Structure 1
Amino acid sequence: MRRLPILLAATAALMMPAIVSAQPQPPAPQAAKGPLLSLSVSESVNSAPDMATINTGVQTRAMSAKDAMAQNATQMDRLIAALVKAGIARKDIQTSGINLNPQYDYSDRTDGKGPRFIGYEASNQLTVAVRKLDSAGDLIDSLVAAGATNINGPSFGIAEPDKLLDQARTKALKTAQARANLYAQATGFRTARLVSISEGGGFAPPPMPMMAMRDSAAAAPQTKIEPGEIATSISLNVQYMLEP
């Protein structure tokens, strides 16, 4: 009879881990109260740009690759010097492409003649950030005077678009909620509750115009640049639950 308390204690000890390890279970997820509505919404904010990007460069030809590249380097030095003199910071001048290719004349193909080699063409292109738009026209003129053989641009932009992007986000969210409420009411539901959101889009500049070259020897008015306005836009993909 003395062994009974010992057996009872051992049995209680074996049962304790099961009691201690028991944890409350999380509540089961609630079933959806209504259908899900997916929307894509885009909004933009227009503003005057505060910077522009211009692509420029020089092309040279010579009978040897070495001479073509040497001539190109000389003209490019003059081009970069003109940019620096105009107040463009070195950090805003970036090489965007260097090319060297043989050139052939294909015009005479009579009697089975092959293309005629006419030399090498070297090109060096720069991407330039212009932060003083009122001097952009004068800058283009100075590039032409310094020997630029091609100019593309300008492409206008916003240096720090964060505030404009936030304004566009606010507009997009309001538009999405209003549209979701419309769907809810039109289909017999009371409210539309936002359940997910993802973002896309960003700064949307207008198409970049092409700047045609002109004869530097001819008298002509200075190049005029009109920045106008650009749109800073945001696209949202949102999902709402329609609830009764």
Structure 2
Amino acid sequence: MRKLLGILLLSVTLWGVMAQGADRMIVVSGTSEKGLDPNMVSMTVEIWSKAQTAKQAQTLAANQFKDVKKVFDEYKIKKEDIQTDNYALNPEYVYDQKNRANKMVGFRVVQTLLVTLRKVDDAGKFLDALVTEKATTDAGVNVNSINWDSDKRDQMETAALADAVRAAKVKAEEIAKAAGVKIKGVSRISHGSQSHQPPMPVMRNFGMKAAMADSAPTELSAGQIKVRVEVTAEYEIN
């Protein structure tokens, strides 16, 4: 029994020493933010059509897609940078006030494409090129969103991470110096990152060229992508 009590007392003592050692920490955070110019732009391109029959709506949509595809080829967009995100064929209804019921008036096709343009300077001209020659209210093209990005984002995040760690170390050293202690080493480091890009919501119908024939060319400002990294570091002190 005495032996068991001795073991328990020794365990409690060791736990107390370990806990005391764990408390001898300086916990600091360090941040770094870097900016880089986008070298690609992703767009959500929506092709739509409507007609009295489903087959007519599909034919109109197919013809509209051919015109859009010509623009893709003109700007040398690769196949892997074009993805069909959604294709929907649905009946269209209007509410009949007289009968107080929905009445089917035709069909609508909506095809959504995710497109990546790797020449950001051509973004405005690319949007203008999507305007169709034929003026119609039965088919058209919408661009619903634009997102700027860069294939160098990971490299920039790595550089920011190193700066954030150095910033955390400087803080820890200053705190230790002011407290009259010395840093023994790093116990733990964790990190997180986030990026911010200029918002560019777009809701634009490109189905009618006649109304835009004399308009100025579209200009888009890419701005910069901001990459922010934050680290939390725990330093042991003596």
Report if TM-score (shorter chain) is over 0.5.
Answer: yes
Q: Which residue of 2 aligns with 1:243?
A: 237
Deviation at 1:160, TM superposition (A): 2.5
Match of 1:206, SS state, is coil
Q: Which residue of 1 aligns with 2:149?
A: 157
- Structure exhibiting the larger radius of gyration computed from Cα positions: 1
Rate the CA distance shift 1:242–1:220 in 2: closer, same or farther, 3 A. same
Give the number of aligned pairs.
214
Q: Which residue of 2 aligns with 1:234?
A: 229
Q: Which residue of 2 aligns with 1:131?
A: 118
What amino acid maps onto 1:225 in structure 2? L
Q: Which residue of 2 aligns with 1:105?
A: 94
Determine which structure has the larger strand proportion and give its number: 2
- What is the alpha-carbon distance in structure 1 between the residues aligned to residue 117 and residue 89 of structure 2? 28
Instruction: Give unpaired runs (5+ residues) of structure 1.
Output: 1-27
From 57, 61, 85, give the equivalent of 2:46.
57
Deviation at 1:61, TM superposition (A): 1.0
Larger mean CA deviation between 176-185 and 160-169 belongs to 176-185
TM-score (norm 1): 0.74
- What is the alpha-carbon distance in structure 2 between the residues aligned to residue 72 and residue 38 of structure 1? 60
Q: Which residue of 1 aligns with 2:79?
A: 90
What amino acid maps onto 2:107 in structure 1? Y
Q: Which residue of 2 aligns with 1:118?
A: 105
- What is the alpha-carbon distance in structure 1 between the residues aligned to residue 83 and residue 144 of structure 2? 15
Q: CA RMSD in A?
A: 2.8
Residues 56 and 152 in structure 1, CA contact (< 8 A), matched pair in contact too? yes
Larger mean CA deviation between 183-192 and 132-141 belongs to 183-192
Larger mean CA deviation between 62-71 and 38-47 belongs to 38-47
- What is the alpha-carbon distance in structure 2 between the residues aligned to residue 33 and residue 182 of structure 1? 20
Deviation at 1:229, TM superposition (A): 1.4
Instruction: Give unpaired runs (5+ residues) of structure 2.
Output: 1-13, 134-138
Match of 1:145, SS state, is coil
Deviation at 1:68, TM superposition (A): 1.8
TM-score (norm 2): 0.76
Residues 188 and 235 in structure 2, CA contact (< 8 A), matched pair in contact too? no
Residues 103 and 119 in structure 1, CA contact (< 8 A), matched pair in contact too? yes
- What is the alpha-carbon distance in structure 1 between the residues aligned to residue 169 and residue 223 of structure 2? 32
Match of 2:104, SS state, is strand
Rate the CA distance shift 1:73–1:42 in 2: closer, same or farther, 3 A. farther
Residues 57 and 76 in structure 1, CA contact (< 8 A), matched pair in contact too? no
Rate the CA distance shift 1:114–1:183 in 2: closer, same or farther, 3 A. farther
Match of 2:205, SS state, is coil
